[in-house]
């Protein structure tokens, strides 16, 4: 029991290790959520308003990405691509993890965006067209700005998922927070403290993300969208 509050051990050994892991986690999470979110919006638009082959292509990508466990996808990216005959793509652990996360999060985001796009009333589209706006002008300046606001709660949820599934990066030897914790446990044999501290780190990250997303929702709030008056 005394071990649990061994401050010297926590601050002297656990936190330096985990701080380093935290930095790597953030280097995965921040670009993956931003790039993945952006690609997700584009994929969502393609799935709703794209030409038939665009729809079919993006639907197929989403079906595969959602249908295969992320662990397996990461393994294919890191271990599978180099041994693929004629391809021989070697990705660094960081690149493999980042690409895997971007593709995964973009696919899920596109589903939230698609739902929001479909919820925009036909009248909005007709009004834009009646003013002589082109199809893509209508989509980008009328439909998407409204849809993004409607999709935001769902998209935020996906970012919070991303923070937690970023812990899978260690299986392709990209040593982030969970990876560092694992290494440290194997050296110190004190899993309770180490994993508890790692858990706290994740909790702090998720809380910070929740706070940021709430701020963003507030900033984008417009009378008539959402519940607040």
Partner 1 sequence: MNAQQNDTPILRAEHFTKYLTGRKILDDCSISMRPGDVKVLIGPSGAGKSTFLQCINCLLEPDAGEIWLGERKVDFKNTRELYDLRQHVGMIFQEFNLFDHLSAERNVALALRKVRGMSKADALQRAHVELARVGLEDKAKLFPAQLSGGQKQRVAIARALAMDPTILLLDEPTSALDPELVGEVLTVIRDLAAHGMPMIMVTHQMEFARAVATEILFMEAGRVIEQGSPEELLAPGAQTRTQDFCTRLYELCGDVDSAQESRN
- Name the minimum Å distance from CB 137 to partner 1: 5
State the minimum distance, in angstroms, from the CB of residue 213 to partner 1. Answer: 19
Q: Which of 141, 173, 192, 207 binds partner 1 (CB under 8 A)?
A: 141
- Span near partner 1 by CB under 8 A; candidates 36-44, 106-114, 142-150, 156-164: 142-150
Interface segment toward partner 1; rule CB under 8 A; list 19-27, 59-67, 95-103, 218-226: 218-226
The site that binds partner 1 (CB under 8 A) totals a number of residues, namely: 22
Q: Which of residues 120-139 bind partner 1 (CB under 8 A)?
A: 121, 123-124, 126-134, 137
Nearer to partner 1, 60 or 131 (CB): 131
What is the smallest separation between the CB atom of 128 and partner 1, expressed in angstroms?
8
Among 2, 7, 222, 227, indicate the residue that binds partner 1 (CB under 8 A). 222
Nearest to 160 by CA among 112, 219, 222: 112
Binding characters for partner 1, 36-75, by CB under 8 A (x = yes): ----------------------------------------
* Nearest distance, CB of residue 117 and partner 1, angstroms: 14
C-alpha 93 chain-centroid distance: 18
Q: Is 227 in the site for partner 1 (CB under 8 A)?
A: no
* Phi, psi dihedral angles at 89 (to 5 degrees): -95, 120
**Distance, CA of 41 to CA of 155 (rounded, Å):** 10
Closest to 98 (Cα-Cα) out of 156, 26, 41: 26
Task: Work out whether 218 is an interface residue with partner 1 (CB under 8 A).
Answer: no
Nearest-angstrom CA–CA distance, 197 and 200:
5
Residue 200 makes CB contacts below 8 A (sequence gap 6+) with: none
Is residue 157 within 8 Å of residue 217, measured between CB atoms? no
Instruction: Identify which of residues 191 and 226 has a Cβ nearer to partner 1 in the complex.
Output: 226
Q: Which two tokens stand for residue 164?
A: 């937690």
Q: Other C-beta atoms within 10 Å of 171: how many?
A: 17
Q: Is the distance from CB of 71 to CB of 113 less than 8 angstroms?
A: no
What gap in Å lies between CA 111 and CA 128, rounded to an integer?
A: 25
Contact assessment for residue 106 and residue 43, using Cβ atoms and an 8 Å cutoff: yes
Residue 145 found at the interface with partner 1 (CB under 8 A): yes
What does the binding site for partner 1 look like in residue numbers (CB under 8 A)? Answer: 121, 123-124, 126-134, 137, 141-142, 145-146, 149, 222-225
């Amino acid at each position: 029991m005394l071990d649990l509050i061994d401050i010297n051990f926590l601050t002297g050994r656990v936190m330096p290790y985990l701080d380093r892991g935290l930095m790597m986690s953030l280097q995965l999470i921040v670009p993956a959520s931003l790039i993945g979110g952006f690609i997700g919006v584009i994929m969502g638009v393609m799935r709703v308003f794209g030409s038939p082959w665009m729809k079919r292509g993006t639907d197929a990508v989403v079906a595969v990405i959602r249908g295969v466990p992320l662990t397996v996808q990461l393994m294919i990216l890191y271990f599978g691509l180099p041994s693929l005959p004629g391809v021989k793509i070697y990705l660094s652990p960081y690149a493999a993890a980042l690409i895997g996360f971007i593709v995964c999060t973009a696919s899920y985001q596109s589903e939230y965006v698609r739902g929001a796009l479909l919820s925009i009333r036909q009248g909005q589209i007709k009004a834009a067209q009646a003013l002589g706006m082109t199809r893509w002008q209508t989509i980008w300046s009328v439909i998407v700005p409204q849809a993004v606001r409607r999709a935001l709660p769902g998209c935020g949820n996906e970012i919070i998922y991303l923070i937690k599934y970023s812990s899978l990066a260690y299986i392709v030897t990209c040593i982030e927070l969970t990876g560092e914790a694992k290494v440290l446990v194997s050296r110190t044999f004190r899993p309770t403290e180490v994993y508890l501290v790692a858990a706290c780190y994740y909790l702090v990250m998720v809380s910070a993300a929740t706070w940021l997303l709430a701020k963003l929702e507030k900033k984008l709030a417009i009378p008539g969208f959402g519940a607040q008056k």
